[in-house]
Amino acid sequence: MEIAIIAHDGKKAEMVQFLNQYKTKFQEKNITIISTGTTGSKVENAGIEVTKMLSGPLGGDAQIAARVAEGKCNMVIFFRDPLEKHPHEPDVNMLMRLCDVHDVPLATNPATAELLVRGL
């Protein structure tokens, strides 16, 4: 199973904390984690294995969206910061739309992500 993780700048620490909380579950279920570049770097620094795509503003969100459309990515956890503007918002919207089109579970906050991960 492949899970994509993405976090806006103000949510990256929260993402690392979340992944540390469920690290054992991801290992038990043999889950591959993919990520946008900057989020992936923070996650790697915390000792969690991740495959990094480009940074979100440079196309990482679009790369993950492509994997969703191709049926390679099975879940997306995207800790969004709804109070900030983001220059790559069209890519974010495309990713969210493709999750809906392809019926891929999408969590945009820790509470929803926790429900999805517990359901694995």
Q: What is the DSSP string of 5-31?
A: EEE-GGGHHHHHHHHHHTHHHHHHTT-
What is the predicted pLDDT for the residue at 89? Answer: 83
Residues 86, 89, 93: CA angle, nearest 5 degrees:
150
pLDDT of residue 108: 96
**Predicted local distance difference test score (pLDDT) of residue 36:** 96
Residues at the binding site are 8, 12, 36-39, 55-56, 88
Domain 2-118 in this protein, CATH class: alpha beta
- pLDDT at site 90: 87
DSSP label of 77: E
- Residue corresponding to tokens 């990713």: 95
Question: What was the pLDDT predicted at 86?
Answer: 73
Catalytic residue among 61, 91, 100, 103: 61
Q: What integer pLDDT is reported at residue 100 of this predicted model?
A: 98
pLDDT of 119: 94
- All residue ranges of the chain with pLDDT < 50 are none
Cα gap 77→120, rounded to integer Å: 13
Q: Is 91 a catalytic residue?
A: no
Confirm whether pTM is higher than 0.85.
Answer: yes
Residue 63: closest CA among 85, 103, 35, 41: 35
The binding site for substrate consists of: 8, 12, 36-39, 55-56, 88
Residue with tokens 């989020």: 39
